[in-house]
């Protein structure tokens, strides 16, 4: 069955709902807010709106790039026509350490690509450079336009988008695995597939749902509604059957409750016991299906050894190109070693998969300086918002999303061209901007 009508129908509904929220909100820059809200509410379903520029076959205008141009124009307009400083509230010349490491990382990556231009085509350099610039633009645009009303609006769009994605995940798992699916068809167990929701992969879906759970925990006051939404979204994470997402969800909820809710030892023990009992019951009821599932078979065959092989490949070869790395997948070293590790030509040529770690991929492709700056950027982002979260609960949101990004990159490559990276940019901009709002003002 062709579900494109459902997809376009949801895009129309999301546009109408976003417009209504924008209309009722009390902020300026309504056009920019509309496009940001629509992007967040529609996940990756919005990629069906992608169109090509005549004469530039390699450069498509995807929704994220369209948003980039909208926000870039907004920043330039503010710089050229605003009176006074654009970054209100911050001390002149002061920039967070995470931004310094981010700018250095982007610089080293760009230099690496130029040095390896014999491997990387000029088109690839341009396209990836736009993704990196887009990351910066998203941060600065959110930093500039943010108001308290903006935060309320963005939180609603994320939670509405997540609940829609979770509902679609249930339909994909229980009724029709092809329902509104735009990406991978990866097995879970038996005849069941992993749920992608509004996204191209199950782990993008899971991480978006986790981000929405964090928003729900930190901003919703009605406990019945709050925990109802959290249970619903958590079940959606479970339906993705992405192991790392389960661990990240458990860790983030644990950190939130210990750090911000501070439950009693008895309550914490009861919750932990309930989680263990639930897992044991699922394992007992579905033991045979689980052991014969793709989920387990992949882990017991090539995935553990394969990923260890990927990382060994990086350590064995980085000494030959320590400063600028090997550029991309299209090099002889990557091809030969990937063939040894995976015995798959598609993986060796880069047609499928990658090194399965944002940290190791940065090290192998772009060299040690870029790797150190990327690690510095991630750690400083976590540290910056953790410090702010001690003064106001709202900053738990960017803090925990940064923690999510930190752990997610251990087993998946989530660099500038991936949706989760874009999601992080939104939250950095929101958190950085909120620091200087009177409602959240914290000590310098």
Q: Is 439 contained in some domain?
A: no
Asked whether residue 32 is domain-assigned, the answer is yes
Q: What percent of the chain has pLDDT over 70?
A: 85
Same domain, 299 and 379: no
* Total number of residues shown for the chain: 444
Q: What percent of the chain has pLDDT over 90?
A: 55
User: Mean pLDDT over residues 239-261, rounded?
Assistant: 91
- Predicted confidence band at 388 (pLDDT cuts at 50, 70, 90)? very high
In a domain, 146, yes or no: yes
Least trusted range by pLDDT, from 125-139, 207-221, 369-383, 398-412: 125-139
Q: Are residues 372 and 351 in the same domain?
A: no
In-domain check, residue 74: yes
Residue 10 resides in a domain? yes
Residue 2 has pLDDT above 80, yes or no: no
| Residues 210, 216: Cα–Cα separation, whole Å | 10
Q: Which residues contact 251 (CB under 8 A, 6 or more apart)?
A: 403, 407
> How many Å is the Cα radius of gyration of the chain?
22
* Last residue of one domain, picked from the residues 340, 364, 388: 364
pLDDT for position 265: 56
17-72 pLDDT, tens per residue? 999 999 999 888 899 999 999 999 999 999 999 877 766 655 678 899 899 999 99
427 has a pLDDT exceeding 50: yes
Whether 208 and 348 share a structural domain: no
Render pLDDT for 174-230 as a digit per residue (tens, 0 to 9). Answer: 889 889 998 888 887 777 889 999 999 999 999 999 999 999 999 999 999 999 999
Mean pLDDT for 255-276 is 67
Domain boundary, last residue among 364, 381, 412? 364
Do 354 and 427 share a domain, yes or no? Answer: no
Residues 192 and 48 occupy one common structural domain: yes
pLDDT band at 89 (very low <50, low <70, confident <90, very high): low
Asked whether residue 282 carries a pLDDT value surpassing 60, the answer given is no
Q: 12 and 34 in one domain? A: yes
Q: What is the mean pLDDT of residues 236-257?
A: 92
Q: Please tell me the predicted confidence (pLDDT) of residue 302.
A: 45
Query: Does the pLDDT at position 428 exceed 90?
Result: yes
Number of domains in the chain: 2
> Per-residue confidence at 276, pLDDT binned at 50, 70, 90?
low
Domain co-membership, 401 together with 359: no
Same domain (yes/no): 124, 245: yes
Same domain, 333 and 186: no
More confident residue, 197 or 353: 197
- What pLDDT is attached to residue 200? 93
Same domain, 188 and 230: yes
Domain range for 125 is 4-261+367-434
Torsion of the alpha carbons at 15, 19, 22 and 24, rounded to the nearest 10: -140
Q: Would residue 35 count as lying in a domain?
A: yes
CA distance 231 to 248: 15
From 314, 343, 364, give the residue that closes a domain: 364
- 339-366 in b/e form (b: 16+ CB < 10 A) is eebbeeeebbeeeebbbbbbbbbbbbbb
């Amino acid at each position: 069955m062709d579900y494109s009508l459902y997809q376009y129908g949801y895009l129309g509904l999301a546009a109408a709902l976003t417009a209504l929220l924008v209309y009722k909100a009390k902020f300026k820059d309504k056009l920019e807010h509309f496009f940001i809200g629509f992007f967040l509410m529609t996940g990756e379903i919005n990629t069906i709106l992608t169109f090509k520029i005549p004469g530039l076959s390699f450069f498509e205008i995807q929704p994220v790039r369209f948003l980039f141009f909208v926000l870039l124009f907004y920043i330039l307009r503010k710089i050229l026509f605003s009176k006074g400083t654009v970054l209100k509230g911050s001390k002149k010349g002061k920039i967070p350490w995470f931004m310094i490491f981010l700018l250095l990382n982007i610089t080293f990556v760009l230099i690496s690509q130029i040095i390896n231009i014999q491997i990387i085509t000029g088109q690839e350099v341009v396209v990836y450079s736009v993704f990196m610039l887009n990351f910066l633009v998203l941060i600065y645009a959110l930093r500039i336009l943010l108001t308290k009303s903006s935060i309320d609006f963005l939180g609603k769009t994320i939670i509405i988008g997540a609940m829609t994605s979770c509902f679609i995940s249930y339909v994909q798992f229980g009724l029709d695995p092809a329902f509104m699916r735009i990406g991978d068809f990866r097995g879970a167990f038996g005849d069941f597939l992993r749920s992608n929701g509004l996204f191209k992969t199950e782990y993008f879906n899971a991480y978006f749902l986790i981000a929405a759970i964090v928003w729900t925990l930190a901003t919703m006051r009605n406990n019945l509604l709050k925990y109802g939404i959290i249970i619903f979204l958590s079940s959606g994470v479970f339906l993705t059957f992405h192991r790392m997402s389960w661990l990240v969800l458990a860790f983030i909820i644990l950190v939130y409750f210990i750090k911000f809710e501070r439950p009693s030892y008895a309550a914490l023990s009861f919750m932990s016991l309930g989680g263990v009992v639930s897992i044991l019951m699922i394992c007992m009821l579905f033991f045979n299906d689980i052991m014969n599932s793709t989920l387990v078979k992949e882990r017991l065959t090539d995935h553990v050894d394969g990923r260890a092989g990927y990382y060994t490949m990086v350590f064995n070869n980085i000494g030959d190109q320590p400063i600028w790395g090997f550029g991309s997948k299209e090099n002889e070293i990557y091809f030969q070693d990937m063939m040894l590790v995976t015995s798959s030509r598609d993986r060796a040529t880069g047609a499928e998969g990658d090194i399965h770690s944002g940290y190791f991929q940065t090290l192998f492709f772009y060299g040690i300086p870029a790797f150190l700056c990327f690690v510095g950027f991630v750690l400083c982002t976590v540290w910056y918002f953790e410090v702010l979260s001690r003064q106001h609960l709202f900053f738990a949101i960017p803090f925990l999303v940064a923690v999510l990004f930190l752990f997610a990159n251990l087993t998946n490559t989530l660099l500038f061209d991936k949706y989760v990276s874009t999601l992080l940019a939104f939250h950095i901009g929101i958190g950085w901007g909120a620091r200087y709002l009177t409602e959240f003002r914290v000590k310098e």
